[in-house]
Amino acid sequence: MSTTTFELTQGEAACGVDLEDVHALRARALVIDGGAAVVLPADLAPALTGAAARLALGGAVVFSGFNQFGQPVYRREETAR
């Protein structure tokens, strides 16, 4: 069994994001494209959605845009288009 650690960035922490919120939002995230992207609920702070996206995809992410429902979509940094 392997374990990983997740830490907030300085910017996320400065924006008031906490790990409890990130974990709660991760449970509401939809991972798509074979684990290459994640869709998160709309109308949330970018610092929070970015942190939840990093947790969901297991590494660095880039904001890809909004889907047709106004939900933010993030992709793994190496697969960004």
> Tens digit of pLDDT for each residue in 28-63?
999 999 999 999 999 999 999 999 999 999 999 999
- The rounded mean pLDDT for the chain is 93
How far CA 69 is from CA of 14, 41, 43, 45, in Å, comes to: 29, 9, 11, 16
Residue 5 has pLDDT above 70, yes or no: yes
Structural domain including 41 reads 10-79
62 domain-assigned:
yes
Cα separation, 26 vs 80, in Å, equals 20
Residue 18: how many other CB atoms lie within 10 Å: 13
2 domain-assigned:
no
70 domain-assigned:
yes
Q: What is the pLDDT of residue 76?
A: 95
Number of domains in the chain: 1
Q: What is the mean pLDDT of residues 71-81?
A: 84
Residue 1: how many other CB atoms lie within 10 Å: 2
69 domain-assigned:
yes
DSSP 8-state code for residue 42: S
- Cα–Cα nearest to 47, from 7, 14, 6: 14
